Structure 1
């Protein structure tokens, strides 16, 4: 089955050429700010657990330059226990509703079709499903009916046991093959190609080495022909790389933002559509610099004097 997305050739290095229909096109890699309405997320669990705090945080991210705010009510850190669906709804719906009413482009981070449907009714414009439709068989049909953009991530099971599934021959080849299967499933369910976004799932059933291999060959993920979302922000593989030299202890999550920004620059230069981050301000600056640099590089290539 053909999987041609809504495509435009990149004007220059650092400008994504693939955009999901129905969302803004700023001419550079977009920035998705994280709003975790959870008590147990690995980086900021509890920080925005109260709805009013989550809304205030989301509005602050918009002020810092977020193009999208991603609201999630279920932690997907390794070992996390799922909340009941009623609790997830209680957490996310007021936040989605208030942020959408304030004019934000809101994404809902959920694996449940019921939560996705209710969030779309409340004003969300994008569904970010880390299971790629595997956790809930009703998700793909819902997204086909809704006609809104849908992020499909590489996934090998729920958080409680996913790291036991971090077994690959060649991680990039295996991830690409499994993403292609999910893309086929999405298209067969009736989701239009121009609404699909793919995510290689850094940290989900992957070791630090797997994450680095995927980042090193990110161009192969972009070559799948759909917009790509990358979520490396504050993840454990960055903490391990930056471990304290004396103690060997990983750098704490909140001290990984500079490393996250470095990943953001390199990923934007590969033409990814969007970066999902906790510290929006640094990545918002980084993607603008990357796009401007890429524009100049493109002019140099086209110039007879370049």
Structure 2
């Protein structure tokens, strides 16, 4: 059991699996691009996810799907800040999905509680770490790399990446207990690498708390005879249950209700 202080909010880790609901406010995300990219639509979906049992709402303003188009910090800030302000008013715990420190700063000024960084504090020579320390927020640090080449064992490679994240955090005075590790399913990994990581998640648990973000990812569609993202719910639920069995504490998902229900049953079996 661990209490994670998220500014004026608290999360209890270890008692149950926490559900992070995905709120992409982008026109081009791989699964739901353009669906929630207005304030009204985003707020409506946030309310729905909270009603369905989301513990965290993860707001992202730039798609990071394979082949994504980068946008300016100013555009990303303009997309996320108005929505963060409104979702915070709902009483939600909000994470900001960004690797850009200026976007993170604007998000925390708007009331966000957690950083979700796809480059694990390693993108900008410590500037993100400075922001995290200043606002004293928890960090979800994801493993990432530019290619899919692994010259060493993949779990060993991911552990080396996370050691660098921990070293940066230590340098800037960020407590290790404030860092949640995400193995980065679908980032710098093909289907074989994704399956290898999922089958060995428990080997990362010794480094800290784990978040799993496999929701609707391409490898699930491939396994299910090329189903489109919106039809990958059951496949995502399978990864959620396997992740819980292997020690995951948070799952980041598009389909909150289905994964929440699966997690409740898995928790009763596994967290006795």
State the TM-score, normalizing by the size of structure 1.
0.84
Aligned residues: 267
2:27 alignment counterpart:
39
- SS for the counterpart of 2:5 is coil
Partners of 1:20 and 1:184 in 2: CA distance = 20
Aligned pair partner of 1:188 in 162, 167, 171: 171
Contact 1:242 1:251 in 2 (8 A): yes
1:20 alignment counterpart:
4
Partners of 1:41 and 1:81 in 2: CA distance = 10
- SS for the counterpart of 1:152 is strand
State the Cα distance separating 1:179 from its structure 2 match: 1.3
Partners of 2:68 and 2:3 in 1: CA distance = 32
State the Cα distance separating 1:166 from its structure 2 match: 3.6
Correspondence list, 1:165-176, <5 A: 165-176=148-159
Unaligned runs of 5+ in 1: 1-7, 9-17, 157-161, 244-249, 299-306
2:130 alignment counterpart:
141
Partners of 1:38 and 1:167 in 2: CA distance = 31
Aligned pair partner of 2:250 in 253, 259, 274: 274
Contact 2:46 2:57 in 1 (8 A): yes
Relative contact order (alpha carbons < 8 A, sep ≥ 6): 1 or 2 greater? 1
- SS for the counterpart of 2:11 is coil
Contact 1:19 1:227 in 2 (8 A): no
State the Cα distance separating 1:289 from its structure 2 match: 0.7
Contact 1:19 1:273 in 2 (8 A): no
Contact 1:141 1:190 in 2 (8 A): no
State the Cα distance separating 1:294 from its structure 2 match: 2.4
Correspondence list, 1:49-198, <5 A: 49-137=37-125, 138-156=127-145, 162=146, 164-198=147-181
State the Cα distance separating 1:49 from its structure 2 match: 0.9
Which is greater in Rg? Answer: 1
Contact 2:183 2:212 in 1 (8 A): yes
State the Cα distance separating 1:67 from its structure 2 match: 0.4
- SS for the counterpart of 2:12 is coil
Are residue 293 (structure 1) and residue 231 (structure 2) matched? no
Aligned pair partner of 2:219 in 227, 234, 237: 237
* Structure with greater strand share of residues: 2
State the Cα distance separating 1:235 from its structure 2 match: 0.2
State the Cα distance separating 1:181 from its structure 2 match: 1.6
Cα deviations by residue, 1:264-294 (Å, 9 ceiling, x for unpaired)? 0111122212000000001111111111122
State the Cα distance separating 1:19 from its structure 2 match: 5.5
Contact 1:101 1:123 in 2 (8 A): no
